[in-house]
Structure 1
Amino acid sequence: MLVVGPAWVGDMVMAQAVLRLLAARRPGVAIDVIAPPWSLPLVRRMPEVREAIALEVGHGEFGLGARWRLARRLRRRGYGQALLLPRSFKAALVPWLAGIPRRTGHLGEARRGLVNDVRPDPGRRRAPWVRRMAVLALEPGEAVPEVLPQPRLAVDEANRARLMTALGLAGEGPVLGLCPGAEYGPSKRWPARRYGALAARMAARGWRVWVFGSARERPLGEEVVAASGGAARNLCGRTRLEDVVDLMSACERVVTNDSGLMHVAAATGTALTVIYGASSPDYTPPLTPRARIVRRALACAPCFRRVCPLGHTACLEGIEVEEVERTCTP
C-alpha cells in the first residue's frame, strides 16, 4: 500500500490515525508513505509505516520531473493500491505515473481518471479532516468508525536524555511547553506577551518552561522569553522535529495554538491546553482525550482567515492569562 501524505506537519500527524485504521483493518499490509522532507522525521516515528519515501519538491512547487523520477522508481515495487490524502492534482500524479492499479481518493481538483476509486467527501465545514480521510482506509460504502485510533508517535528516550544534557535542560519541577507559533498566520497566534506572562506565573509556581518552534520562530520565542522576565528557555530553532517529539514527551503540559506542533504534542500523549482563534476544534481538534480547549464564542469566529479581516483579533486578545493558567492545574 502506498500512501501519499499531506504537506502540512499537523495534517501528517493526524494522518497517522488513518494509517492505524488501515493497519487494523488489513493485518500484515505493508504501508509506505510519500512525504515532503520536512515531515519525514514524523513518518519515521509511526510504527505502522514500513518506509518513509521523500518527495523532493518544495511546498507549493509542481515539480513534474521529480514526481516522474519517483514514480519510475516506485513502479517496480508492485503496489496494489494507493491512498491519496491530499486533494490536489499534483498529489495524484505519482501513483498514476507509477501504474498503481487502484488509486483511492477524493476527486479534488481535476483528478478524474487519476483517481479511479473515488470516495465521497462531505467537505471541510461538515466533518473533521481526519474523519474525511478515514473513509479512504475503508472499502466503498463502509461507515467510518465512531471512534478512530489516536496518533501516537514513538519516543526515543535515549535521544531525549542526550538533549536534556546537551541543551542544559535538566532540573527540578514539572515542565511546561509553550508553542506560540502557527505557520498559518497571526489569526491563530495568541499574543507572545500573554505566553510570556503565563511563563512567568508558572515559573513562580516552580515549573520549568520551554518554548518550542522552528528556526523562523526564534524571534517569536525571544519575545516570549523577554515578556517572561527570563523565566522561559527558548528552544526555537535549536531542535530538529524529531527532537521536539522527544522533549514534548517530558512535559507535564503543553500550551499551544492550533498548529502543527499542537498535533505533535497530542501524539506524544502529553496533556494539552489548546488556544483557538480563527480556526475551530470542530474541524482540526487535538486527537487526544487529554486536551483542554480555550476559545471565545464570537459572532465572527471561526473565520478561517490568516489575518483578522476586522483588524482586532478579539478571538485571541479576549483570552486572558489567568484563564489559560487555570487549565494547567489538575
Structure 2
Amino acid sequence: MKLEFYQAEIGQAPQELHQTIPNHLRQRGAIIRSVNWLGDAVMTLPAIYKIKQSLPPNAPFIILCKKNLASFWQSFDWVTQVIAIDHKHVKRRETELIRKAKPGFAVIFPNSFGSAMDLFLKGIPLRIGRGGRARSLMLNRRLPGFYRSPGEDTNHQLKEYLELAYISGGQGWNDHFEPAKPQINSEKLAELGYQAEANTWLNIAPGAAFGPAKQWPVSHYAEIANWWIAQGGKVAILGAPGEETVGKEVHDLSPQAINLVGKTSIPELMHILSGSKFCVVNDSGAMHLAASVRAQGVAIFGSTDPFATGPLGGRWKIVWTKPECSPCLKKICPLTENQYHCLSSASPEMIINELQSLD
C-alpha cells in the first residue's frame, strides 16, 4: 500500500468540546506536561502551539518535560521556560520552580497516572487532561480516556491532542505551528563530516526506539545509501543514543556514508534534517522530527498505522505493504515464519521509485 503524498486526516473540529479559560488564569500563563517520547512530542506541537496562541502576549508558557527532551522544547522561541524532570517524576527542585512560576492552568498531555501526579498539589488552580487510569480526581477539567485499537484508526493521533487544546482554550483545528529555531554548533558538525550543501544529502534513520517491528532491514538501508552515493550524493546515517549498533551495521555496508548516530543533539539533528534533499526513515522520532522541519522523503511503515501516526509537515510518500497482520502495534513480531514480513516486503526498489517521484 502506498499513500500518494501523505496528508494527515484529523477529522472535523468538535465545537461542543471548546471551552475557555478564565481571564485571570490566562494572565498567569500555562504549564504543559509534555509527553515523554520525541516522536509523540512532535505530534503534540500543533495542539500545544494553539494553547500558547490563546494566551495574552506576555503570559508565561512553560513546558515540563523529561530531561532528554529539554533541548527540543528549548528550540521553540514561543516557549518561555523549560523545566526538565531529572528523575522519573517531579521532585523538590521541579516543584519549587513550578510553585515559583505560579501558572494559572496546566494541560497534561500524557495519559499516565504519574504525569497527572507531577502537577497535582503544586498550587495550580486548573488542571486539564484525560481521565482514566485512576487519575480523574487529580484533574478538574477532563476528557474521557483515549485508547487505540489496532487497525481501527480513522484519524491521525493529532486529533486526540487537538481535543485537549480545544478544552484548554485553544483555537483552530489544523497541524500548523511556528517552527523551531535550533541552536547548533557548526564547527562540531564539520568535524563530524557534515556541512550543509543544497540538494546533496540523503539522510537515513534506520533505528526506532519502539522496537524491531518498526525497523526496515539494515541491508535495505545500505542499498539505498549506496544508490544515492553512486548518483553523486552524500548520505548521513542519523539516530539517537542507543541506536549506535544499527547505525554501525548500515555504515559497515555503506562505508562512504557518514555515521552520526548518537553523536548529535536534538537541535543538531533538526538542523541536519532541515538540510536534506530527501530522508528515508522508519515510523520513528526521526520521521516526526524531519516532518517538523518541513523535510521531504519516504517513510516506511510495518507494524504501525500511518493513518494514526504519519508525518505532519513536508512532502512525504508512505510505503506500507500492509499484509493481513498489519497493523498489529506490537514491538516484536509474533510470527514464527516470515517474521517482519510487513517491513522486508518493502523493497529498496520501491523506495527508490518513490524518491524519484518526489524529485
Q: Taking structure 1 as the reference length, what is the TM-score of the superposition?
A: 0.90
Cα-to-partner distance string for 1:289-325 (whole Å, 9 max, x where unaligned): 4111111121100000001111411100100001111
Alignment-derived partner of residue 153 in structure 1:
180
Alignment-derived partner of residue 232 in structure 1:
257
Partners of 2:50 and 2:171 within 8 A in 1? no
- The alignment status of 1:210 with 2:236, answered yes or no, reads yes
Q: How many aligned residue pairs are there?
A: 320
Partners of 1:82 and 1:100 within 8 A in 2? yes
Alignment-derived partner of residue 39 in structure 2:
10
Q: Distance in 2 between matches of 1:235 and 1:297?
A: 31
Match of 1:310 among 307, 332, 335: 335
SS at the partner of 1:247?
Answer: helix
The range that moved more, 189-198 or 118-127, is 118-127
1:231 Cα offset (Å): 2.8
Alignment-derived partner of residue 134 in structure 1:
162
- The alignment status of 1:175 with 2:201, answered yes or no, reads yes
1:132 Cα offset (Å): 0.4
Cα-to-partner distance string for 1:29-78 (whole Å, 9 max, x where unaligned): 42100011110110011222111111112xxx4x4xx4354224312322
Partners of 2:278 and 2:296 within 8 A in 1? yes
Alignment-derived partner of residue 82 in structure 2:
52
1:102 Cα offset (Å): 0.5
Cα-to-partner distance string for 1:237-293 (whole Å, 9 max, x where unaligned): 221222111111221111100111111111111112110011111111110141111
Cα-to-partner distance string for 1:174-228 (whole Å, 9 max, x where unaligned): 1000000001100000001100011011111111000001232222112112222
Match runs of 1:80-229 below 5 Å:
80-121=104-145, 123-125=147-149, 126=153, 127-139=155-167, 145-150=172-177, 152-156=179-183, 159=184, 161-170=186-195, 174-228=200-254
Match of 1:297 among 314, 322, 339: 322
Q: Distance in 2 between matches of 1:31 and 1:117?
A: 19
1:160 Cα offset (Å): 5.8
Partners of 1:46 and 1:152 within 8 A in 2? yes
Q: Distance in 2 between matches of 1:160 and 1:104?
A: 38
Moved over 3 A (4+): 66-69, 120-123, 142-146, 170-173
SS at the partner of 1:33?
Answer: strand
Q: Taking structure 2 as the reference length, what is the TM-score of the superposition?
A: 0.83
Alignment-derived partner of residue 78 in structure 1:
102
SS at the partner of 1:255?
Answer: strand
Q: Kindly tell me: are residues 144 and 323 of structure 1, through their superposed partners in 2, closer, same or farther at Cα, counting changes over 3 Å?
A: farther
Partners of 1:151 and 1:267 within 8 A in 2? no
SS at the partner of 1:99?
Answer: coil
Alignment-derived partner of residue 12 in structure 2:
none
SS at the partner of 1:209?
Answer: strand
SS at the partner of 2:353?
Answer: helix
Q: Distance in 1 between matches of 2:303 and 2:208?
A: 11
The one-letter amino acid paired with 1:147 is: N
Match of 2:346 among 297, 310, 319: 319
Q: Distance in 2 between matches of 1:137 and 1:23?
A: 10
SS at the partner of 2:135?
Answer: coil
The one-letter amino acid paired with 1:274 is: A
The one-letter amino acid paired with 1:24 is: Q
The one-letter amino acid paired with 2:33 is: V
SS at the partner of 2:309?
Answer: coil
- The alignment status of 1:23 with 2:49, answered yes or no, reads no
Q: RCO (CA 8 Å, sep 6+): is it higher in 1 or 2?
A: 2
The one-letter amino acid paired with 1:134 is: L
Q: Distance in 1 between matches of 2:81 and 2:159?
A: 24
Identity %: 27
Q: Distance in 2 between matches of 1:97 and 1:283?
A: 34
1:151 Cα offset (Å): 6.8
Partners of 2:63 and 2:81 within 8 A in 1? yes
Q: Distance in 1 between matches of 2:311 and 2:111?
A: 22
Q: Distance in 2 between matches of 1:155 and 1:182?
A: 22
Q: Distance in 2 between matches of 1:14 and 1:42?
A: 13
Partners of 2:251 and 2:259 within 8 A in 1? yes
Show structure 2 runs of 5+ residues with no match.
1-29
The one-letter amino acid paired with 1:314 is: H
SS at the partner of 1:213?
Answer: coil
Partners of 1:273 and 1:294 within 8 A in 2? yes
1:139 Cα offset (Å): 3.3
CA RMSD for the aligned pairs?
A: 2.1
Q: Kindly tell me: are residues 120 and 128 of structure 1, through their superposed partners in 2, closer, same or farther at Cα, counting changes over 3 Å?
A: farther
Q: Distance in 2 between matches of 1:298 and 1:143?
A: 39
Alignment-derived partner of residue 67 in structure 1:
91
Q: Distance in 2 between matches of 1:148 and 1:213?
A: 25
